[in-house]
Amino acid sequence: MSRDSNYDHHISIFSPQGRLYQIEYAFKAASQSSGLTAVALRGSNSCAFVTQKKVPDRLMDPSSISHIFQITPKIGCLATGMIADCKAQVQRMRYEAADFQYKYGYSIPVHVLAKRIADIAQVNTQSASMRPLATVSILIGVDDEKGPQVLKIDCAGHYLPFFGTASGSKEQEAVNFLEKKVKDMKDYDVDETVRTAIMCLGSVLGSDFRGSEIEVAMVEGTDGTFTVLKEEEIDLHLNAIADADA
């Protein structure tokens, strides 16, 4: 049965060309299913990420809908894709971070957590019993030795550190926007980091938004506490962007 060439579309075995279709399909699910785009970047001493907040129904409680999760006081995660898979991966991240703290007595560095979660994601690409998760996660944190870090973990178990990155339906356009600014990014202060992330999202979505329509979060400084911005704070940034353009 696994010899049938169609089986390679169902579970994580190689196709004749050496591709893994299940991973490719998981990527499609992760970028198309939620319809959201996420943007993340790092500055000189801070990182920020931003995504849309789409509430599908007016009867829903907007505070319960979020793709931004705190993993530890110093590490935050923006997960795009199928929300149930996102939450499953976040739960695992929280467990791994807490377990590390318990075993070693200090808080897990972002890149160590990213590697751990990526290694766990890889198992699903090699073992037939579980499908890959349809989630792309972006982790932000400030490392004691390396400074602000943005790491992206994808369905295939790849993880990479970035100066700036994006995920979701308009990923490519957002990345094009960020590539033009990559040389300046390392000097950005906190406000510029947050505002560039918001501007990037605005530019690829082609529309302006209000503070209630996006979620923004950041880590800053050497004590690096992860904070989700409140609507008023987002509005301050949006106004500053509008004033700068005017």
Partner 1 sequence: MGDSAYSFSLTTFSRTGKLLQIEYALNAVANGRTSLGICAKDGVVIATDKKLSSTLVDLDQVSKIQKINEGSGFVYSGLGPDYRVLVRKARKSSQSYHLQYREHKPVSQLVKSTASVMQEYTQSGGVRPFGVSLLVAGVDADKSPRLYQVDPSGAYFAWKATAVGKNYINAKNFLEKRYQDDMELEDAIHTALLTLREGFEGEMTKDNIEVGVVSQADGKFRALTPDQIQDYLDETS
Binding mask 136-165 for partner 1 (x = CB under 8 A): ----------x---------xxx-xxxxxx
Q: Which residues ranging from 171 to 200 are in contact with partner 1 (CB under 8 A)?
A: 175, 178-179, 182
Q: By C-beta, is 151 or 234 nearer to partner 1? A: 151
CB of 242 to partner 1, least distance (A): 26
Q: Is 128 in the site for partner 1 (CB under 8 A)?
A: yes
The angle at the Cα of 93, spanning 75 to 230, to the nearest 5 degrees, equals 40
Q: Give the closest residue to 71 by CA, choosing from 89, 84, 59.
A: 89
User: Would you say 188 or 211 has its CB closer to partner 1?
Assistant: 188
Out of 10, 92, 94, 111, name the contact with partner 1 by CB under 8 A. 111
CA distances from 234 to 188, 198, 202, 241 (A): 18, 9, 13, 11
Closer to partner 1 at the Cβ: 146 or 230? 146
78 DSSP β-pair partners: 68, 138
CA-CA-CA-CA torsion for 155, 225, 64, 196, nearest 10 degrees?
-70
- Choices 10-18, 91-99, 102-110, 214-222 (CB under 8 A): range interacting with partner 1: 10-18
CB of 145 or CB of 223, closer to partner 1? 145
Q: Which of 154, 230, 222 is nearest to 194 (CA)?
A: 230
Q: Are 174 and 162 spatial neighbours (Cβ–Cβ below 8 Å)?
A: no
Taking contact as CB under 8 A, which single stretch among the options 11-19, 51-59, 91-99, 192-200 is the one that binds partner 1?
11-19
> Per rule CB under 8 A, is residue 15 in the interface with partner 1?
yes
Chain centre distance of CA 48 = 10
Among residues 9 and 19, whose Cβ is nearest to partner 1? Answer: 19
Q: Is 3 in the site for partner 1 (CB under 8 A)?
A: yes
125 binds partner 1 (CB under 8 A): yes
Query: CB under 8 Å to 232, separation ≥6 — which residues?
Result: 211
**176 vs 239, beta carbon nearer partner 1:** 176
Cβ 17 to partner 1, closest distance in Å? 6
Residue with tokens 């509430």: 55
Return all residues near 111 (Cβ < 8 A) that are at least 6 apart.
143, 146, 149, 151, 161
Interface ranges with partner 1 (CB under 8 A): 2-3, 11-20, 111, 115, 118-119, 121-122, 125-130, 146, 156-158, 160-165, 175, 178-179, 182
